[in-house]
Amino acid sequence: MRNTLSYPELAALIQARAGVTVDPVDLERPGSDFDEFGVDSLGLLGVVGELENRHGFKVTAGAESAKTPAEFLELVNTSLTKAGA
């Protein structure tokens, strides 16, 4: 994995783990939040689990409660940096 999670990768994970189809462009749009896409915290928890299982690092606790894609990416990518990925 590259050293950051991208919006297209996040969109693909949301599709797989929460069953919700979202356009990466919409995820990236300033001010967008998970509520408007119908992605709940259980869906984000599934995304977190998938990232951790796939790449063997620990995502900061609480990332699944992020309100916006930007906030979620920030938390995941900070965790990645700390893990030295």
Give the binding site for another protein (CB under 8 A).
15-21, 38, 42-43, 45-46, 49, 52-53
- If the CB atoms of residues 52 and 71 are measured against another protein, the closer one turns out to be 52
What is the rounded distance in angstroms from the CA atom of residue 50 to the CA atom of residue 44?
10
- Residue 49 is encoded by which pair of tokens? 């689990």
Give the shortest CB-46-to-another protein separation in angstroms: 5
For the bound state, the minimum distance from the C-beta of residue 19 to another protein, rounded and expressed in Å, comes to: 3
Identify whether the C-beta of residue 44 lies closer than 8 Å to the C-beta of residue 72. Answer: yes
Minimum gap (Å) between residue 65 Cβ and another protein: 13
Ramachandran category for residue 57: left, alpha or beta (phi over 0 → left; psi -120 to 50 → alpha) = beta
